[in-house]
A and B are shown apart, each in its own frame.
Chain A
Amino acid sequence: MNAATRFAAVCLCIAFLANPALATVDDAFSFALQAAEPYVKEGFTIREDYWGGDLAVKTQKAVIHQLFKGNEYWFWMGTDVEKATISVHVYDSDGNLAENDHWQKPHFAAAHVKPKTTGSYYLIVEVEKSDQVRTHWALAYGFR
């Protein structure tokens, strides 16, 4: 490794460690896992992989996700911003609301779905209210 490459690698490491955005998505993920915790006792398997990012108030992101008929799913969204109101909802590939239930509370939101068909579903996440310009969020899911 030459000096220039070494310097670039050190800068990259510093940028990575100092990037608060990465830390806060991790924090948001911790909240999502906290929301998921009671469901593990009910037999839900929580996936290691998750989605995350940051959003301005009243903006949404969509995720396309494969669901299997016969399984039951919970999607748990978390944020580290206490005063934020966040939401997650599930739509089928025709754009119809597919969830069986949903809830919201400080730091958390969740949606429950028992898919009527196997296929692609749209998960819509939103920051409805927040005292931050950008609100970090993470979305985890579990199935049984």
Chain B
Amino acid sequence: MRSPAILSLLLSAGVCLGDQPPRHIDIGEGRLPATLIEDVVVPLPGEVFTALDKLGSPNWHDVLRPTAPQMERRPQIALELGAVIAEGFIAVEAKDAEQVKKIGRDVLTLANALNVRKAVIERTKSITDAADQKDWAKVRDELDKASHDVSQAMSEMQSQTLSQLVSLGGWLRGTEALTTVVGRNYSRDGAELLHQPGLLDYFQKRLGAMDRHTRGDELVAMIQKRLPEIRPLIEKPGEIPAAAVDQIHSITAELVKAVNSREM
């Protein structure tokens, strides 16, 4: 409820409250009163970690993992790049400046292998500078910008597939980290953060639409096969049991291990 004082302040500032929107809209298939935009903005790992931090004080140092880029094939490098950026957000949560700086260098190495080094070179420098100053908000911001710049550079090179794999790699590592924290100290609210059906649908759709060559990649095929196993486990918000959290952790941990592995 708006107080009259706030209302008068808003009006004096030229703010219009406009017509009141409908209280309810029909969102059933084909009944949405608007054209749906297919573009999905994938939340940053830092976004879900911010929500998780409000439920307690996770020991992020225990979640943080050393990074070692493998640089095998382009789809794997793209997935690795996403996972390394996600690791950057974990390093920020852990307030580990040295690891953040190492991650900045790894981002540059992986970006170089994907021919998008130029797009992130300034960002990685800013990440290092901000880590030196322990300006964690700035590091978060620069990681987001690095991710955005990589995606934009890839789109300009007509490499949307690689851009989507970067997002997917980040989501996998972010979800693995989330399930690690929630699995160690289960709460319904913590588990509810895994209720991400729209994102899962988006990734599955994008994987299905990738060219045959990319889908034929052993690692991409493995992810495409395992991802649908998560969907039924996160169906109902507020009703994701500890066993489901453990199961999602097993799946994402296995996939992230494959992303970071030379054998795949």
Contact = CB atoms under 8 A, between A and B. Distances in A.
Interface in B161-209: 189, 192-199
B33 A104 contact: no
Interface of A: 45, 47-51, 53, 59-66, 68-71, 85, 87, 89, 91, 93-97, 99, 101-106, 109, 117-120, 122, 124-126, 128, 141, 143-144
Contacts of B151: 49
17 contacts: A45-B50, A47-B144, A49-B42, A51-B37, A60-B33, A62-B37, A63-B39, A64-B36, A70-B55, A89-B21, A103-B10, A103-B15, A117-B195, A118-B51, A118-B196, A120-B197, A124-B21
Q: Which 10 A-B pairs have the closest CB atoms?
A: A120-B198, A48-B148, A60-B34, A70-B51, A62-B34, A68-B51, A95-B27, A89-B21, A104-B18, A49-B41
A69 B35 contact: no
Given A63-B37, A96-B23, A119 B195 contact: yes
A92 B179 CA distance: 24
Interface in B1-41: 2, 10, 13-19, 21-27, 32-37, 39-41
A69 B37 contact: no
B220 to A, nearest CB: 23
B193 A68 contact: yes
B153 to A, nearest CB: 13
B48 A68 contact: yes
B34 A61 contact: yes
A47 B41 contact: yes
A53 B16 contact: no
- Chain B CB count within 10 A is highest, among A70, A91, A101, for A70
Given A62-B36, A117-B192, A120-B197, A68 B43 contact: yes
Contacts of B10: 103
Interface residues of B, number: 55
A62 B35 contact: yes
Q: Is the interface of A mostly helix, strand, loop or mixed?
A: strand
A65 B34 CA distance: 15
A69 B192 contact: yes
Contacts of B148: 48-49
A49 B144 CA distance: 9
Contacts of A97: 21-24
A29 to B, nearest CB: 12
B260 interface: no
Contact of B25 (A66, A99, A120, A122): A122
B213 interface: no
B47 interface: yes
